A and B are shown apart, each in its own frame.
Chain A
Amino acid sequence: MGASSDPTQDGSDEQQKRSEIYTYEAPWHIYAMNWSVRRDKKYRLAIASLLEQYPNRVEIVQLDDSNGEIRSDPSLSFEHPYPPTKAIFIPDKDCHRPDLLATSSDFLRVWHISESAVELKSLLNGNKNSEYCGPLTSFDWNEAEPRRIGTSSIDTTCTIWDIEKETVDTQLIAHDKEVYDIAWGGVGVFASVSADGSVRVFDLRDKEHSTIIYESSEPDTPLVRLGWNKQDPRYMATIIMDSAKVVVLDIRFPTLPVVELQRHQASVNAIAWAPHSSCHICTAGDDSQALIWDLSSMGQPVEGGLDPILAYTAGAEIEQLQWSSSQPDWVAIAFSTKLQILRV
């Protein structure tokens, strides 16, 4: 394991620009990855391995900004069953709650992080009759109500958990087919995407109904990722399977995309709304590019389609993208066995 700076571009001020890119090489392919949110843990991320076997690995890495190295703490590295499909640190910017990390795979697991160890705090299984729980494809941690985590599963359900009581608050049959992603839009409102090609919005105050706000144009073309703009919850974005475009939706106008972002040269793998701006979004894909778009002019039609304002080219297909909410100047990407953090 070695950390090194990666001067992939030439510039008039190469020395200073070089410090805006930091790379960490892991011993395995990285998929699940995310930033820490706490104020006192800046430049801390969790990365998880993608190995087709039962034992997998999660590491908590830290950027030492004095020497520009990203280091892994062996005492904060632990074994994880199956490859995690998602990893999120507790959304607790003010450090009021314990330092927690959640991961999803066969079950939802909550891990407690101390200075020199990581231990399993909760294993959340909603199926009382058996040890088996529908495998989870993704989950989202409710920022407004950190007791709540919503999970999505291939068994067509979304489950809302109370992680303090370690119980199921609600379980909904969300779609006709596998549910691939879930995102919170407010205290009691979330949305999900599915293999049935639809985006649905749910309100926990009325669990009998859900609203389809988008369906892919071709029948049964799966939607694979979903992002809800936290700064302006009127907007959300979704990724279509095997598609190079990102669809941006307005929840007030169901079924009509506000704009379709089509500048990637290959399929898109990840999206992330800016945590501090209501009109910026970052997308990353198989063309090894991470693009940042300005959607402030969404209302007016743009000739030839909208162009991104910024672009970064990595060394391989970018599989994961996360925009730090506690340090909004930075985004993190994962490609192949590398983790890179980039200044915006």
Chain B
Amino acid sequence: MATPPPNNSLQTMLRAAVQSVQWTYSLFWQLCPHKGILTWGDGYYNGAIKTRKTVQAMEVSTEEASLQRSEQLRELYESLSGGETNAKTRRPCASLSPEDLTETEWFYLLCVSFSFHPGLGLPGTAYARRQHLWLSGANEVDSKTFSRAILAKTVVCIPVLEGVVELGTTDKMEEDLNFIQHIKSFFIDQQHPALTAKPALSEQYSTSKPTSSSSSYPLVTANNTIPIQNIVDRGEAIILNNNTKEAELAVPNSSFIPSELMELDATLEEFRVGSSGDGSNHLDSFPTEKSMALCSAGLELLQLQLPPAPAHPPTENLAQGGTDTHYSQTVSSILQKNSRRWPESPSLNLLTDSFQSAFNKWNSGADDYQHHFHVSVASVTSQWLLKYILFSVPYLHTNWLKGKGTSPYETSHVMAERHRREKLNERFLILRSMVPSVTRMDKASILGDTIEYIKQLRDKIESLEARKRLTGKRRMRQVEVSIIESEALLEVECVHREGLLLDLMTKLRELGVEVMMVQSWVKDDGVFVAEMRAMVRENGNGIKASVIEVKNALNQIIPRHEPYTLASSDHF
């Protein structure tokens, strides 16, 4: 229960209002923005004072006494609500105690603990309706057993500013609209304070107060006399209590306590709508009891007045349209945009008749021939290039990317297998075109024919290699002789043997061929080579040797190990 700090200007207005009509108290219920409820803003007590405590010896004016009393009552409330600890630390020697209060003071004190939700209680209802409420005979309404004049009999609530002003009095008064307007004027006028107006108002209050005070509050007047009269006041109070309760006169304190408890109960009943209090509970610690009661009362009010969380109305979610709805819109958009084209379409037949077309008229007679011809091929080459573009070409990229070292696109197993099959089929076709003798078209036959063809090729290779070897051997024996007049040039190439060169030169000498220069060497593979330049001389008969004679003579000397020597000689 947070109490807002006292607003001096507000209290001034409350004091001016309550004093102008000489009522017992005035309060301001202020709307709390956060909680949305009316709580005690400030107040001014203008009623009877039971016991006066002051450190000052001299007397103060009634006005000052009431102001001081209001503050003391608020301090007492704070100490009671704060518990014993706070009470000890805060209470100065001049502070009030619960037993120092009159009934009306208690009533005023209890108001501090109350709060009202708009529409609930007297102040709440006045605030909600934005019009004043005049409750006459308040004490009788709540409890018919209470007939004490000191209780608030009339309560008025007037909505002003951001809250409600409440005035109460112990006199029973009937509703008076002029009274309402009079009170309102204080709060409306005070919105625009005038410096000159304040002294005048103040003077009026001090002037009018003694007159009304003497006529309305005899008890209050008695307070201003000698101390002996104070005792008389207490006696009157006791008498009143006795008359009301019809109880035996005993210790004054004991009779006082039940009266206050009953009052507390009545007050709680008056301001707690629909709740039942336990005011009759007796506890030894009187201050603690009241403090708990005050806190309990406030909490109960808060709990009762807390509005339940408003239920959110369920929002209808429109059902989403199905696919058919969307497709209809798609079809509509297509038809609308393109509808203008249709009438403009020319006839193709007209164009065809006008020009020499590359196409022929369709001839259904050719169906049978074409049908038989193509059916056998369809299964092998059906849509070959189209499927190659769709099934194989896109995966060339994957192989290329793998080569580049980038992360490859993951190919599904099915596509990889299909890719492999396409390649195999392609290669079977190529293989079939390369093998000359193909018996049938199936893969097994193609493979078989290819195997046979490779065998034939191998046989050819072997025979060709054999012929190559024969040609090489045939060239291992060779003699060439040329004679021009008296000069001779000889070349010999044959298998080497020891002493071959000397034998050749000896033979030539016998024929009259005189060797002048010789170049001779033996190759790594054992072949003897000799190139000779010679002079041919006439023999005794005057005849020179012929080329044939020399050649035949040399051939007889060179080795003859090969079996085909004679054939070779004949050849040359």
A297 CB to nearest chain B CB (Å) = 12
Closest chain B residue to A106, Cβ basis: B397
Interface flag for A189 (CB, 8 Å): yes
For chain A, give the interface size range: 35 or more
Contacts of A52 in B (CB 8 A): 392, 396
With most chain A CB atoms within 10 A of its CB, the pick from B331, B335, B346 is B331
Among B335, B360, B362, B367, the residue within 8 A (CB) of A9 is B360
Check if A265 sits within 8 Å of B358, measured CB to CB. Answer: no
At the interface with chain B, which of A59-67, A90-98, A114-122, A304-312?
A: A304-312
A93 CB to nearest chain B CB (Å) = 15
Within 8 A of B (CB), among A83-106: 83, 85, 105-106
B332 CB to nearest chain A CB (Å) = 10
Check if A232 sits within 8 Å of B348, measured CB to CB. Answer: no
Check if A279 sits within 8 Å of B345, measured CB to CB. Answer: yes
Give the docked Cα–Cα distance between A174 and B394 (Å). Answer: 18
Check if A85 sits within 8 Å of B330, measured CB to CB. Answer: no
Give the docked Cα–Cα distance between A343 and B386 (Å). Answer: 24
Within 8 A of A (CB), among B332-388: 333-335, 337-338, 341-342, 345-349, 351-352, 355-364, 367, 370-371, 373-375, 377-378, 381-388
Contacts of B358 in A (CB 8 A): 17, 20-21, 312, 342-344
Interface flag for B107 (CB, 8 Å): no
Within 8 A of B (CB), among A126-153: 130-132, 134-137, 144, 153
Contacts of A254 in B (CB 8 A): 327
Check if A85 sits within 8 Å of B394, measured CB to CB. Answer: yes
Interface flag for A31 (CB, 8 Å): yes
Give the docked Cα–Cα distance between A130 and B401 (Å). Answer: 12
Contacts of A266 in B (CB 8 A): 374-375, 377-378, 382
Interface flag for B393 (CB, 8 Å): yes
A276 CB to nearest chain B CB (Å) = 6
Closest chain A residue to B323, Cβ basis: A209
Among B337, B345, B356, B406, the residue within 8 A (CB) of A186 is B337
Closest chain B residue to A318, Cβ basis: B385
Given A50-B385, A209-B326, A17 contacting B351 (CB threshold 8 A):
no
Interface flag for A110 (CB, 8 Å): no
Among B363, B381, B383, B406, the residue within 8 A (CB) of A224 is B383
Check if B393 sits within 8 Å of A105, measured CB to CB. Answer: yes
A129 CB to nearest chain B CB (Å) = 10
Within 8 A of B (CB), among A290-321: 290-292, 294, 307-312, 317, 319
Interface flag for A277 (CB, 8 Å): yes
Give the docked Cα–Cα distance between A267 and B379 (Å). Answer: 9
Within 8 A of B (CB), among A257-303: 263, 265-270, 274, 276-280, 286-287, 289-292, 294
Give the docked Cα–Cα distance between A295 and B263 (Å). Answer: 105
Contacts of B286 in A (CB 8 A): none
Given A82-B396, A132-B407, A311-B363, A17 contacting B345 (CB threshold 8 A):
no
Check if B351 sits within 8 Å of A132, measured CB to CB. Answer: no
Give the docked Cα–Cα distance between A313 and B297 (Å). Answer: 107
Give the docked Cα–Cα distance between A134 and B351 (Å). Answer: 43
A152 CB to nearest chain B CB (Å) = 10
Give the docked Cα–Cα distance between A224 and B377 (Å). Answer: 20
Give the docked Cα–Cα distance between A106 and B335 (Å). Answer: 35
Give the docked Cα–Cα distance between A270 and B357 (Å). Answer: 20
Check if B361 sits within 8 Å of A309, measured CB to CB. Answer: yes
Interface flag for A187 (CB, 8 Å): yes
Check if B347 sits within 8 Å of A135, measured CB to CB. Answer: no
Interface flag for A29 (CB, 8 Å): yes
Check if A135 sits within 8 Å of B395, measured CB to CB. Answer: yes
Check if A269 sits within 8 Å of B341, measured CB to CB. Answer: no
Contact with A along B384-417 (1 / 0, CB 8 A): 1111111011111110110000110100000100
B390 CB to nearest chain A CB (Å) = 5
Contacts of A231 in B (CB 8 A): 341-342, 345
Interface flag for A3 (CB, 8 Å): no
Check if A278 sits within 8 Å of B362, measured CB to CB. Answer: no
Give the docked Cα–Cα distance between A329 and B315 (Å). Answer: 62
Contacts of A155 in B (CB 8 A): 409
Check if A286 sits within 8 Å of B378, measured CB to CB. Answer: yes
Contacts of B362 in A (CB 8 A): 263, 291, 307-311
Closest chain B residue to A212, Cβ basis: B323
B190 CB to nearest chain A CB (Å) = 67
Given A189-B333, A277-B347, A286 contacting B381 (CB threshold 8 A):
yes
Give the docked Cα–Cα distance between A211 and B398 (Å). Answer: 32
A206 CB to nearest chain B CB (Å) = 5
Among A16, A20, A189, A329, the residue within 8 A (CB) of B330 is A189
Check if B393 sits within 8 Å of A82, measured CB to CB. Answer: yes
Check if A310 sits within 8 Å of B337, measured CB to CB. Answer: no
Give the docked Cα–Cα distance between A287 and B366 (Å). Answer: 12
Check if A206 sits within 8 Å of B326, measured CB to CB. Answer: yes
Interface flag for A79 (CB, 8 Å): no
Give the docked Cα–Cα distance between A21 and B355 (Å). Answer: 13
A105 CB to nearest chain B CB (Å) = 7
Give the docked Cα–Cα distance between A132 and B361 (Å). Answer: 49
A223 CB to nearest chain B CB (Å) = 11
Give the docked Cα–Cα distance between A294 and B350 (Å). Answer: 12
Among B326, B355, B394, the residue within 8 A (CB) of A154 is B394
Interface flag for A252 (CB, 8 Å): yes
Give the docked Cα–Cα distance between A267 and B384 (Å). Answer: 9
Check if A344 sits within 8 Å of B385, measured CB to CB. Answer: no
Interface flag for B329 (CB, 8 Å): yes
Contact with B along A179-194 (1 / 0, CB 8 A): 0100001111100000
Among B348, B360, B383, B406, the residue within 8 A (CB) of A130 is B406
Give the docked Cα–Cα distance between A287 and B371 (Å). Answer: 9
Give the docked Cα–Cα distance between A253 and B349 (Å). Answer: 28
Within 8 A of B (CB), among A189-208: 189, 201, 203, 205-206
Interface flag for A57 (CB, 8 Å): no
B399 CB to nearest chain A CB (Å) = 10
A residues near B (Cβ < 8 Å) are: 9, 13, 16-17, 19-21, 29, 31, 50, 52-54, 82-83, 85, 105-106, 130-132, 134-137, 144, 153-155, 178, 180, 185-189, 201, 203, 205-206, 209, 211, 224-225, 231-234, 241-242, 244, 251-252, 254, 263, 265-270, 274, 276-280, 286-287, 289-292, 294, 307-312, 317, 319, 328-329, 342-344
Selected A-B contacts with CB under 8 Å, 28 pairs: A20-B356, A21-B358, A31-B385, A52-B396, A83-B396, A135-B395, A135-B409, A153-B394, A154-B415, A186-B337, A189-B330, A211-B330, A224-B383, A232-B341, A241-B387, A254-B327, A265-B374, A265-B375, A267-B382, A277-B345, A286-B378, A287-B370, A309-B349, A310-B359, A312-B359, A319-B386, A343-B355, A344-B359
9 nearest CB pairs, A to B = A135-B394, A310-B359, A342-B358, A278-B345, A211-B327, A203-B330, A267-B382, A319-B385, A106-B397
Identify 16 new A-B residue pairs, CB closer than 8 A, beyond the known A16-B356, A187-B337, A234-B334: A21-B358, A135-B393, A186-B337, A189-B334, A201-B330, A224-B386, A233-B338, A254-B327, A269-B386, A277-B348, A278-B341, A291-B362, A307-B362, A311-B363, A312-B359, A329-B351
